[in-house]
């Protein structure tokens, strides 16, 4: 019987994980990487799995979203985490690495594996390249800076309008850090009292004329993140950063995302301007500042957003940004095992699927490799429970109506319900996270049992 062979495009974080997972199980892999021939401006080294910005793989704490994801990745035999631990530098409870040693170690592990053929080449048409190397399955793990010809191929053959080139991220604030006495729930144009309190989808932050004008002034003066030389920023008019809108004129924001029309306060007064906050999850534990994508640097965002009514002690789960990023609307064009609906032997892994972050991207490499391995063994794709970190990321990708890349956080997992007493204050939050972490680990262990049974214990 002919041996299966897998083509993986991109030796970044996801591609390296996928190649290693398959090769360790005896599957032949052709790993094709373009950067030695055609590096993008963020790349500095020639070796695989390059960390292009910070050297941190984030928290190791098992009761954080990142800690949970690491627990699951280690159980799946993550090369990225093993190399990370061998090349770690001190960083408290985070896993930070010596990025050069990290990348060299991963590169060496890959090229020395007899089942991996590492080829320096830019892929333009993956089907042609797959044919050239006689591969049965293809994985596109070409990342946020996928080269232009390949991006054009993906758009034409797979995604059409469901492929994005820029990512405008609005900040997300932790609900517990807000002063709710200064905010009110109401959906635009719904009569006052139509949805009582938390029944409404939006929480509103009303501003007086003076507060609004100060806010706009601060936005125009604040320090911005300069675009990288490969980011010629061309914005969609419907998705302008708030600082760009503020620069266009004092009133622009009041006619844009800070429009107060239809947002009467409970007393029936129309505020001068209004920031709308949308629930990030069913729990209402985090809120997205609607339309607040911004180029302001992080320090300035915190300083200026904390001047908003109710935001004095605001803590942000993540801050806003605008950057170059190629990603799919996975829920529309991919199946839950991340194979293409259009071309079933073609899979996507890494940031291009719509996750955000080094570890999240790597975890998608492991996930896809596992699904391909099952396929090679004539097994059905396996669903990861939504209560696990990997399962929650997949569920997020598959259910987004307006895709917006996300890192792993507890808001993506189904909530645990606590009594009022248990859920109160700081301890309640910690207690909830602990319960979610324990539940996730139990569900993941059950999944491993199933995989061991299906695959007769091969390497789990
Ligand atoms: C400028 C920038 C800074 C970032 N900073 C951070 C950060 O600080 N922390 C964080 O957690 N995340 C960060 N990210 C987000 C993201 O997590 C990383 O980009 C991560 O490396 C994505 O992993 P990946 O495997 O999907 O893609 P990558 O790691 O980018 O790997 C993709 C690989 O595919 C190759 N490739 C592209 N096109 C082709 C082609 N046509 N043929 C063959 N090979 C190809 C590329 O050269 C690359 O090596 C950043 C992203 C960018 C763009």
Q: What would the pLDDT profile of 236-286 be if each residue is shown by its tens digit? A: 455 678 998 999 999 999 999 999 999 999 999 999 999 999 887 666 788
- Out of 328, 361, 408, mutate this one to test ligand 1's pocket (max ligand atoms within 8 Å of CB): namely 361
Beta bridge partners of 340: 334
Q: Which residues line ligand 1 (CB under 6 A)?
A: 9-15, 32-35, 42, 52-54, 122-123, 141-147, 150, 350-352, 357-358, 361
Token pair belonging to 217: 């002034």
Angle at 356 between CA 350 and CA 361, to 5 degrees: 25
The minimum-distance atom of ligand 1 relative to the CA of 122 is: 42
Q: How much is the pTM?
A: 0.79
- Out of 143, 149, 353, mutate this one to test ligand 1's pocket (max ligand atoms within 8 Å of CB): namely 143
Write out residues in the chain with pLDDT < 70, as ranges: 1, 192-198, 227-239, 281-283, 420-427, 457-459
Cβ neighbours of residue 141 closer than 8 Å, sequence gap 6 or more: 8, 9, 10, 12, 14, 15, 18, 348, 349, 350, 352, 365, 368
CB 140 within 8 A of CB 153: no
Distance 311 CA to ligand 1 centre (A): 34
Rounded CA separation 325/17 (Å)? 21
Token pair belonging to 274: 């209004």
Give pLDDT tens digits for 164-197.
Answer: 877 777 898 999 999 999 999 998 877 766 655 6
């Amino acid at each position: 019987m002919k041996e299966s062979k897998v083509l993986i495009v991109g030796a970044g974080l996801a591609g390296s994980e996928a190649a290693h997972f398959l090769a360790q199980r005896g599957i032949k892999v052709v790993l094709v990487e373009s950067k030695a021939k055609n590096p993008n401006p963020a790349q500095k080294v020639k070796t695989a799995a390059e960390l292009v910005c910070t050297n941190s793989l984030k928290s190791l704490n098992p009761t954080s979203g990142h800690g949970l994801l690491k627990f699951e990745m280690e159980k799946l035999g993550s090369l990225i985490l093993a190399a990370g631990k061998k090349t770690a530098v001190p960083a408290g409870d985070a896993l930070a690495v010596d990025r050069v040693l990290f990348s060299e170690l991963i590169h060496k592990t890959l090229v020395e594996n007899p089942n991996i053929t590492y080829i320096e080449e830019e892929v333009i048409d993956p089907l042609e390249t797959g044919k050239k190397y006689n591969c049965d399955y293809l994985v596109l793990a070409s990342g946020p800076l996928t080269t232009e010809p390949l991006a054009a191929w993906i758009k034409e053959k797979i995604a059409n309008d469901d492929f994005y080139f820029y990512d405008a991220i609005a900040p997300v604030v932790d609900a517990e850090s807000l002063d709710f006495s200064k905010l009110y729930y109401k959906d635009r144009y719904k009569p006052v009292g139509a949805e009582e309190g938390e029944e409404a989808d939006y929480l509103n932050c009303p501003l007086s004329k003076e507060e609004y004008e100060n806010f706009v002034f601060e936005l125009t003066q604040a320090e911005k993140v300069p675009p990288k030389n490969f980011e010629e920023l061309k914005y969609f008019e419907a998705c302008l950063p708030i600082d760009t809108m503020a620069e266009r004129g004092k009133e622009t924001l009041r006619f844009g995302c800070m429009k107060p029309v239809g947002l009467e306060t409970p007393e029936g007064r129309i505020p001068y301007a209004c920031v709308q906050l949308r629930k990030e999850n069913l729990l209402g534990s985090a809120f997205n500042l609607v339309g607040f994508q911004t180029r302001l640097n992080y320090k300035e965002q915190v300083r200026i957003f904390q001047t908003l009514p109710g935001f004095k002690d605001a803590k942000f789960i993540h801050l806003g940004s605008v950057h170059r990023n190629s990603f799919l609307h996975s829920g529309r064009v991919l199946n839950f095992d991340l194979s293409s609906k259009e071309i079933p032997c073609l899979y996507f892994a890494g940031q291009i699927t719509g996750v955000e972050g080094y570890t999240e991207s790597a975890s998608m490499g492991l996930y896809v490799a596992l699904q391909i391995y099952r396929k090679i063994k004539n097994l059905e794709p396996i669903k990861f429970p939504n209560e696990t970190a990997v399962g929650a990321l997949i569920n997020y990708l598959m259910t987004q109506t307006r895709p917006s890349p996300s890192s792993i956080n507890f808001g993506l997992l189904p909530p645990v319900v606590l009594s009022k007493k248990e859920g109160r204050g700081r301890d309640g939050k910690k207690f909830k996270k602990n319960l979610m972490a324990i539940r996730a680990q139990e569900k993941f262990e059950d999944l491993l049992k199933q995989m061991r049974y299906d695959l007769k214990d091969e390497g789990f």
